[in-house]
Amino acid sequence: MHRLHEDWLWVWNWLTKEGASRATVILVFITAWYALLTYRMAKAMNRQTSAMIQPVLSIDFRFDNSDPYPRGNFSVKNLGAQPVLLLDMRMNSKRDNIVAFEEYGMYERHIMPPADDISFRFDFTDKFQKEGFHSWSPGVCTYNLEVVASDLSEEVILAYRCYAYGRFFSVKKGMPLRVRWKFFYAYFRQRYYRVLYKFRPPRLMLAPDESAKRKARIWAWLKGKLSRPSSGPTNPT
């Protein structure tokens, strides 16, 4: 106790010896300490906000064990309390060293409300047959599905990957390089076609309806009848 009293006396004497300069030093340390606390608080609030808006998905595969062909179906469901923006979905199937994939471009930028789900059926039989595979057995192919999703403001982006047979599920933060490059390429492709169509507008080709076809047939028949010479007797001149 006596030792602690002496230490406090030494600190007090050190502060009062040169009051202005040493008080400034103490103020700097206190300010730095409060800045550190504020940073930690802001970081904790940021994590809490990210946890509230981040997408929460479940992926379920369904296979028919009696069907050896590389086909089946899967479903993606939004388990969170906030809407989810689907950025990319890619289904991969691998046999030996050959990888076949299928992308679902029509569901890019698709908004999934809470508790909503979407289901798809996949079939890689034709793609593997083109590579020379014609015999099948259960378990000969592996499957994995990658779903990239985010909140509506795209502040939190997560990449979900699910492996079908092992039921292995992984989640990584951030957009994969493949998806990032695809969006980068799509931006310049849209600008290219916008400039191209400005100077060479596409022609709108509409298939004629049945009424127009019918009118054309009637008109052709009447035109043939009017132009056909009469087979009756003619009056001599």
For the chain, what percentages of helix, strand and coil (3-state, to nearest 5) are there?
Answer: 45, 25, 30
Q: Which of 17-26, 43-52, 136-145, 211-220 has the highest mean pLDDT?
A: 136-145
Question: What fold, for 57-176?
Answer: Immunoglobulin-like (2.60.40)
Q: Do 70 and 93 meet the contact criterion of CB atoms below 8 Å apart?
A: yes
What's the whole-model pTM score? 0.64
Answer whether 157's CB lies under 8 Å from 175's CB: yes
Return the pLDDT at 200.
80
Domain boundaries defined on the chain: 57-176
Whether the per-residue pLDDT at 237 is higher than 50: the answer is no
Q: Picking from 32-36, 44-48, 137-141, 211-215, which range would have the lowest pLDDT averaged per residue?
A: 211-215
* Per-residue model confidence as pLDDT tens digits over 39-97: 888 877 777 776 777 888 988 888 877 778 888 889 999 998 889 999 999 999 998 88
| Residue 160, pLDDT score | 92
Residues 88-109 have a mean pLDDT of: 89
> Which whole-number Å values give the CA distances from 20 to 7, 11, 24, 27, 210, in the listed order?
21, 15, 6, 11, 97
Average pLDDT (112-117) is: 91
Q: Return the structure tokens found at 150.
A: 């985010």
Model confidence at 106, pLDDT cuts 50, 70, 90, reads confident
Average pLDDT on 144-155 reads 90
Task: Lay out the sheet containing 57-62: strands in order across.
Answer: 57-62, 71-78, 117-123
